[in-house]
Amino acid sequence: MMSKPVVLVTGASRGIGLAVVKSLLEEHGVRVVALARSATPALSQLVDAHPASLLAISCDVTDESAQVQAFGQAKDKFGPVLDGLILNAGTLDPLTRIGDPTVPLDAWRYHFDVNFFSLVSALKVALPALRSSPITGRVIFVSSGAATGSIPGWAPYNASKAAMNSLARTLAKEEPSIVSLAIAPGKVDTAMQATLRSTGDPHMDPSDLKIFLDDHRDGALVKPSDVGYVIGNLALRAPLTLSGSFVRYNDEHCKEFARK
């Protein structure tokens, strides 16, 4: 009998990442490794509810050695095969314009350490286990519409998500037996949206900020549980025909992966 698939999720303690972990456990019935900088009560509750199926590991994704150690713990718990890798860890900070002299270049560097270089280090350690998956290994990059956008004040975020998409496309060519897919989850009702509403004003154009304020006021933000289900489902079932693509969570490509 084939054992249950194993999926590793980064940035798993809150928001989209937590929703993905919960959906994978409770709706898809798989084993999950959850990497998070720090535990949250919600993640701890999931560990208590699913002790045999969920391994939560404290891990700073910018620390390459910590990622290697975390993957070693996952191997010890669930074995050497990894069926899905969901790269969700990310940061919005710093909100800044390119010419802002008050934001040091080190802030940009740290942003890229989190949003881009951590992806490279995760892939380096995960690829051998993904290649061994009997159901086809899959890598889901949690991207953003910012990858193809140009909202003023989001310069680091726009650039890092564009770099993420490029990495996903290249991985699809280099690893043709692994599905590599970047997905934009839309405006999700998470802490990132709250940060935009509270701190975006000095950096963003008023017309851009108004869109986010209006969507929140009108209840138009995406529920984390809805996009979490789609991402989890894609990590288990996305076809090779989608590899190298950049999709939105609710477009035609993803309809069959949404909760019925």
**CATH number of domain containing 134:** 3.40.50.720
- Decide: 56 and 47 in contact? Cβ < 8 Å: yes
Residue 213 lies inside a defined structural domain of this protein:
no
pLDDT of residue 15: 96
Residue 215 lies inside a defined structural domain of this protein:
no
- Residue 138, both tokens: 């899959």
pLDDT of residue 1: 53
pTM of the model: 0.97
State how many domains the chain has.
1
Strand positions, DSSP E, the chain? 6-10, 31-36, 54-58, 84-87, 138-142, 179-184, 246-248
pLDDT of residue 102: 97
Residue 216 lies inside a defined structural domain of this protein:
no
Q: Is 249 a catalytic residue?
A: no
Distance CA 239, CA 247 (A): 13
Task: Beginning with the edge strand found earlier in the chain, give each strand of the sheet holding 6-10 in spatial order.
Answer: 54-58, 31-36, 6-10, 84-87, 138-142, 179-184, 246-248
Catalytic residue (choose from 121, 161, 229, 249): 161
pLDDT of residue 39: 86
Long-range contact set of residues 97-103: C-beta below 8 Å, sequence gap at least 24? 97/152, 97/153, 97/155, 97/203, 98/155
Residue 242 lies inside a defined structural domain of this protein:
yes
Catalytic residue (choose from 143, 144, 160, 180): 143
The residue behind tokens 């290649």 is 131
Catalytic residue (choose from 53, 157, 160, 249): 157
pLDDT of residue 2: 65
Q: In which domain, by residue range, is 138 found?
A: 6-187+225-257
Q: Is 75 a catalytic residue?
A: no
Give ∠ CA 52-230-239 in degrees, rounded to 5.
Answer: 95
Residue 202 lies inside a defined structural domain of this protein:
no
Residue 194 lies inside a defined structural domain of this protein:
no
Distance CA 27, CA 210 (A): 36
Within the chain, which residues score under 50 in pLDDT?
none
Residue 1 lies inside a defined structural domain of this protein:
no
Q: Is 124 a catalytic residue?
A: no
Residue 192 lies inside a defined structural domain of this protein:
no
